[in-house]
Structure 1
Amino acid sequence: MQHLSIFPILIPLLFGAIMLLPPISRDLNSQRISSIIGMFFLLISSATLLFQVESDGLQIYALGGWQAPFGIALIADKVSSLLVLLTSFLAFSIMLYAVAGRDKGGAHFHPLFMFQVMGINGAFLTGDIFNLFVFFEVLLIASYALLLHAGGKQKTQAAMHYVILNLVGSSLFLFGLGILYGTLGTLNMADMAIKVAQLEGETATLAKTGALLLLVVFGLKAAMLPMHFWLPKTYASASAPVAAMFAIMTKVGIYSIFRVYTVIFGDDAGELANIATPWLWPLALLTITIGSIGVFASPNIRILSANLVIVSSGSLLACAAINSEEATSAALYYMVHSTLASAGLFLLADVIARQRGKAEDRFVHSRPFVQPRLLGFAFAISAMSLIGMPPFSGFVGKVMILQATQSTAQTIWIWPLILIGSLAALIALSRAGTTLFWRHNGSVAAEAEPAKKLEIAGIALLLSASPLLVLFGSDVSEFTQQAAYYLHDIQSSAYDLLPGVTQ
C-alpha cells in the first residue's frame, strides 16, 4: 500500500495513454469500456487512500526515493485525499453520463478526459509549487481540447478567450515561482513554510511580490473578481460532460489559495504573515455580489449554473479570508457540496435542452417534456440543494460558513451577502422551474430525446450526494475539522513533511 498515493495520478495516465493506441483509439465502444473501468479503479483507489490517511495519518510518497525538499514528493493528507476522492467520484458519475452518447462530438474525448483528471488529482497531491504549476498545465491543456469537443463557432470563441487568459496566467505563475525560488531557494511547500519566516527587509518585499503574483494566478483559476468574466460563457458553451467536470476547476484554484496562503504565508510567516487576507476580503465579497447579479440576469440554465459556480467561489474565498480552522472546515464541506450539485445541474440542463426542441434550456415557452416527472423531481432536488434549503447539504454548508465568522465586522459583511446570494438563487431557480415545467405549448417536439439509463444514473449519483452529505454530516464535518486542524498546524506539519530537517 506504500504506492497508493500515486495511484490517483497513475491510473488516469495509463488508461489515457492506452486509449491513444490502436486498436482502442479507433473503437469508441472500447474507449467507453476502458474509461468506465479506469474510473472505477480510480474511485476505489481514491477511497482506499482516504481511509488509509484516516487510519494511519499523513502519507508521503517520494518519487525515486529522493526525500523532500530535494526530491518530488506527493503529500496525501486529509485535505488532499478528500478532494482526490471528490474528483474521482465526480469523474465516474460524469463518465457514466458521457458514455450514453455525449462523447461522440469529437475525437479523443476519453483520453483527454483521463488526462484532465490526472492533472486535477496531481494538483491536489503535489507537495511543491513547481509541480503544482506542472499539473495545472496538464489539466489546462486537456481542458483546451475538451472545450472544443463537439465544435461550433461559439465554442471556438469561448475557447480562444479561455486559452489566452490561462496562457497569461501560466506566464505570471512562472514569474512568481522564479521570484520565490530566488528568495527562498526552494519550492517545496513545507520547506518554504519554514524559510519564509526568516525573511526580512528587501528580501521579504521581493518574496511578497512573488506571493501576490501567485494570488493573481490562483484568483484567475478560482474565478475571483475581476478575473471571473471568462467563466459563464466558457462553461455555458462547453458540452455537458465537460462543463460538469469544469465545476471542480475553480476548486483547484481555491484549494491552491488555502494551501499556499495557510501553510506558507500563514500566521507564522513573519513579515509575510497573512499577506493575502487584505486582498481576499473585498474580492471575495464582490465575487459573491457579481455572481448573484449574474444569477438574476441568466437567460438559460447553463449560464445560471455557471453564475452559481461564481457565487460558490466567492463563498469559499470568504472562508479563506476568515483564515480560521472553523472557516476552512466549512469551506471543505461546502466545496464538496457545491462541486457535485453544480455538476449535476450542468448535466440536467443538457437533458432538459434535448427535450424542449428549439427552445433548448432557455427560459421561454416550449413544448412539453418527454419525461416531465423525472426531470421535475431531479430539478427540484438540484435547485433546493444549490439554494441552500433544508434538509440538503447546501443548507448545512452555508450554516457552517455563517458560524465560522469570528467578529462583528465579519458577521456584518458575510451574513447579508451569503443570505442575499441564497435569495438570488431561490428567485432565479424558482423562475426557471416555473418557466421550464409549467409554460408549455403544443405537443412533444419530434426531435426530443428521452434521457438514457446511464445518463439518469450519472445525474442520480451526483444529486444523491446532497442528502447523503446531510445523513452522514456528523462524520463528514468531523473529518473536515480534522483536515482543517492539520492545514493550520503549520510548523509541526512542515517538519513532518521534511524527515531530514529537525526543529
Structure 2
Amino acid sequence: MTTDWLHAFFVQHLPVLPVLVPLFTAAALLFLGDSPERLRLQRRIALASAVFGAVLAWRLLTEAAAGSLSVYPLGGWPAPFGIVLVVDRLSALMLALTWTIAVPVLWYATGGWDSHGRYFHALFQFQLMGLSGAFVTGDLFNLFVFFEVLLISSYVLLVHGQGRDRFRAGVHYVVLNLAASALFLIGLAIVYGVTGTLNMADLGLRVAQLDAEQATLLKAGAMVLLVVFGLKAAIVPLYLWLPNTYAAASAPVAALFAIMTKVGVYSIIRVHGVMLGPDAGHAALAAAPWILPLALLTTVLGVLGALAAHSLARLVSYLTVSSVGVILIGVGLFSTEALSAALYYTVHSTLVMAALFLLVELVASQRGKVGDHLQPAAPVAQPVLLGLMTLLGAASAAGLPPLPGFLGKLMVLESAAPSAAHTMVWTVVLGAGFFTLVGLARAGSILFWSVLPDRPGECGAGSSGRLTTATLGLLGVSLLLAVAASPMKRYTDAAAVQLADRNGYAEAVLNATGGADSRTTRPYQAGRGEVRLPTYESAAP
C-alpha cells in the first residue's frame, strides 16, 4: 500500500521533482554545515541526489518519447494566470542531458575538488535546480527567475578554490550577467506591455494576432531578449567573456558550465524559433536576419580562437564557442530538419566539451608546473590512456566519421541544402571542422610528443580511478549517440515537429485541467485548429 502511494505521488508530481530534489538537497547540505568531518556524508547525499535526479529526468524523457506532453500548474492556477511547468520533447531532452552530465561531473569533483572551498555540493545542487527550472518552466518571467538561480550559484562556483585568475574572471562574469539581467527585465516588460502575457503557450497565439504597429514594438522587445540570450549562449560579439571564465574555473565547474551556454540556445529556440517563428504574423522571424550570420561568424571566430590558444583549457573553451555557432546555424535555418540536426548536435557537443574540460585537468596534473600550457614539459604518467582519451575527444569534436560529431554536422549540412545560404554553411562547417582538427592535433603533439626528460618531483603521480572513470563515462555516453543515432534522430525529428506546432502546444497547456499541484499528461496531438485565448476575468483557480 505504501509503495503504491509513493509511486502515485512521484508520477503525479514528476515534472516538478527535478527542481525540488536539488533544492531540498542543497538545503539539507547547508543544514549539515561545512566542516571537513562531514564532507564524506555530504558527498554521499549529493551523489545520491544526482543519481535520483538523473532517474527522474530519464523517466520524463521516456514519457516524452512516447508522445506525452506534461503540464503541471503550481497551486492549481490554470495557465496563463499562474506558474506552469511544461515538459515536452525538447524540455525532456535538455533535462536528461543536464542530469546525465551532472552525475559523472559530481563523481569527479568528489575526487578532491570539492574540498578546495566551502559549500561546493550545496552550490552544485542550486546550479542543477536553476538549470532544471529553466528547461521546464512554461513562462518567460520564471525563465528569468531560474536564470538568476543558476547564475548566482555559478558566480560562487566559478571562484570556488579561489585564485587570482578566477577572481579576475569572476568579476567580469558577474558584471556582464548583471547587465544582462537588467536587459532581460526590460525585454520582458516590453513583451508583457504589448501582449499582456508572458506564458509561452499564450504568447505563441497572441503574437500572431498583433497589428503591424504592435508587432514592431514586440520585435524590439524580442531583440533585447536576443541580446540577453546571445550573451548566455556566447555568440558573436558577446562571447569574449567565455574563454577566460571557463579556462579559469576548476575542471568539474567548467564541465558543468558546458550545459550553461545551451540554456541561452534553448531560450533562443523557444522565443525566436517558436513564438516568433514563421507563423507569428507581423512579428514572424524577427531575428532571422541576425541569427544565421551571427552563428556563422561565431563558428569561425571560435575555431580561430582555438588555433591561437596557448593553453588546453582556452582551446576547449573556444571550441565550446564554435560548437554553439554550429548549433545556431541549424536554428537560424528555420526548418524542422535543421532544428532536429541542431538538437542532435547540441547533445553531442555538450557531452564532448564537458569530457574535454575534465580531461584538461587530468593532463595538466601530470605535467608539473607547466600544467595545461601548450609547451614542452615532462611526459605524463599515463601517456597511453590520456592520449587515447584525447584522440577520441578530439576526433569527435572535429567531426571525424563515424563519431557522433560527424553525424551531427552531416545532418546540419543536409538540412542546409534547400537554403540560399547553403554554400556559406557548408564552407563554414567543413572549414571549422578541419581547423578544429588542426588545432587539437597541434595540442596533442605538444602534450604527448614534445616532451622533456623526466624531472624528479615535476611529473604528476597519475590520475585516480575516480577522476578517470568520470571522464571516460562522459566520453562513453557521447559514443552512444553514434550507436543509437537512428532512435536519437527520430526523437529530435519529433521534437522539431512538436516545436513547430504552436496550436498543439497551446491546446495542451491552456486547456490543461487538474487539482492543485497536479499534472495533466496527454498524448501529444497536432493542433486541430484555433485555440480559444483565455480571458483574464476568469483568473480564479
- Is TM > 0.5 for Structure 1 vs Structure 2? yes
Rounded to whole Å, the distance in 1 between the matches of 2:81 and 2:371 is 54
SS in 2 for 1:75: strand
SS at match of 2:293: helix
Q: Specify which of 194, 198, 201 is matched with residue 183 of structure 1.
A: 194
Q: CA deviation at 1:24?
A: 6.6
Q: Deviation at 1:345? A: 0.5
Using the alignment, how far apart are the partners of 1:444 and 1:95 within structure 2? 33
Q: In the alignment, what sits opposite 1:145?
A: 156
Among 6, 11, 15, the residue aligned to 2:25: 15
Give, in angstroms, the shift of residue 57 of structure 1. Answer: 1.0
- SS of structure 2 residue aligned to 1:103: helix
Secondary structure of 2:66's counterpart equals helix
> Deviations 1:323-363 (Å, cap 9, x if unpaired)?
11111111111000000100101000001111000111111
* Matched letter for residue 481 of structure 1: D
Cα separation, 2, equivalents of 1:268 and 1:439: 57
The CA deviation at 1:449 is 3.5
- The number of equivalent residue pairs is 503
Given that residues 180 and 211 in structure 1 are in contact (C-alpha distance below 8 angstroms), is that contact kept between their aligned partners in structure 2?
Answer: yes
Q: CA deviation at 1:260?
A: 1.0
Q: Does 1:475 align with 2:505?
A: no
For residues 368 and 406 of structure 1, what CA distance do their matches in structure 2 show?
46
Deviation (angstroms), 1:295:
1.1
Opposite residue 466 of structure 2, the aligned amino acid is L
Alignment of 1:228-243 (within 5 A): 228-243=239-254
Output the CA distance in 2 between the equivalents of 1:331 and 1:444: 47
| CA distance in structure 1 between the aligned counterparts of 2:456 and 2:358, rounded to whole angstroms | 20
Which structure 1 residue ranges, 5 or more long, are not aligned?
none
Aligned to 1:100: 111
Equivalent residue, structure 1, for 2:532: 502
Q: Which one-letter code corresponds to 1:342 in the other structure?
A: M
What is the identity, as a one-letter code, of the residue corresponding to 1:459? Answer: T
Structure 1 residues 25 and 16: alpha-carbon distance in aligned structure 2, compared to 1, 3 A threshold:
farther
Q: Distance in 1 between matches of 2:34 and 2:237?
A: 44
Contact 1:147 1:159 in 2 (8 A): yes
Match of 2:422 in 1: 411
CA distance in 2, matches of 1:492, 1:444: 66
Structure 1 position 420 matched with structure 2 position 431: yes
| Counterpart position of 1:261 | 272
AA of the residue aligned to 1:14:
F
- 1-side partners of 2:67 and 2:16: how far apart? 17
The structural deviation recorded for 1:225 is 0.3
- Tell me the secondary structure at the aligned position of residue 69 of structure 1: coil
Tell me what 1:485 maps to.
497
Please, which moves more after superposition, 440-449 or 207-216?
A: 440-449
Partner residue, 2:369? 358
Shift of 1:25: 5.9
The answer for the alignment partner of 1:247 in structure 2 is 258
Match of 1:167 in 2: 178
CA distance in 2, matches of 1:364, 1:51: 47
Q: Which moved more, 1:384-393 or 1:23-32?
A: 23-32
What CA distance in whole angstroms lies between the structure 2 residues aligned with 1:490 and 1:172?
27
Q: Deviations over 1:39-74 (max 9, x none)?
A: 010111111111122235101111111111111111
Give, in angstroms, the shift of residue 368 of structure 1.
1.0
> What is the alpha-carbon distance in structure 2 between the residues aligned to residue 245 and residue 57 of structure 1?
29
Corresponding letter in the other structure for 1:306: S
2:494, 2:301 → 1: CA distance? 33
Percent identity, aligned pairs only? 46
The 5 A counterparts of 1:47-86 are: 47-55=58-66, 57-86=68-97
Change (3 A) 1:444 1:478: farther
* SS in structure 1 of the partner of residue 421 of structure 2: helix
Q: In the alignment, residue 148 of structure 1 is paired with which amino acid?
A: V
CA-to-aligned-CA distance 1:382-403 (integer Å, 9 cap, x gap) = 1111010112110000000101
Q: CA deviation at 1:489?
A: 1.2
Alignment correspondent of 1:120: 131
Which secondary structure does the structure 2 equivalent of 1:67 belong to?
coil
The CA deviation at 1:262 is: 2.3
How far does residue 200 in structure 1 lie from its aligned partner after superposition?
Answer: 1.2
**Alpha-carbon offset, residue 457 of structure 1:** 1.3
Distance 2:40 2:349 in 1: 32
Code of the residue aligned with 2:532 in structure 1: it is T
Instruction: Return closer, same or farther for 1:433/1:2 CA change in 2, 3 Å cut-off.
Output: same
Note if contact 1:8-1:46 (Cα within 8 Å) is conserved in structure 2. Answer: yes
Q: Aligned partners of 1:408 and 1:85: how far apart in 2? A: 32
RMSD of aligned Cα (Å): 1.3
Quote the offset at 1:371 in angstroms: 1.1
* Residues 445/250 of structure 1: CA separation in 2 closer, same or farther (3 Å cut): farther
Q: 1:450: which partner in 2?
A: 462
CA contact (8 A) 1:25 1:31 kept: no
Q: Which residue identity lines up with residue 43 of structure 2 in the other structure?
A: R
Q: Secondary structure at the match of 1:19?
A: helix
Residue matched to 2:288: 277
Partner amino acid, structure 2, of 1:229:
L
Is 1:383 equivalent to 2:394 in the alignment?
yes
Aligned amino acid, residue 3 of structure 1: H
Aligned 8 A contact 1:236 1:306 in 2:
yes
Is there any run of 5+ residues in structure 2 with no aligned partner, and where? 1-10, 513-530, 534-541
Q: CA deviation at 1:407?
A: 3.1
CA distance in 2, matches of 1:30, 1:312: 37
Does residue 460 of the first structure (1) align with residue 472 of the second (2)?
yes
Q: Quick one: distance in 2 between partners of 1:234 and 1:310?
A: 12
TM-score norm. by structure 2 comes to 0.91
**Distance across 2 between alignment mates of 1:342 and 1:244:** 7
SS in 2 for 1:442: coil
Q: How far apart are the structure 1 equivalents of 2:117 and 2:425? A: 44
Q: Is the 8 A contact 2:47 2:103 kept in 1?
A: yes
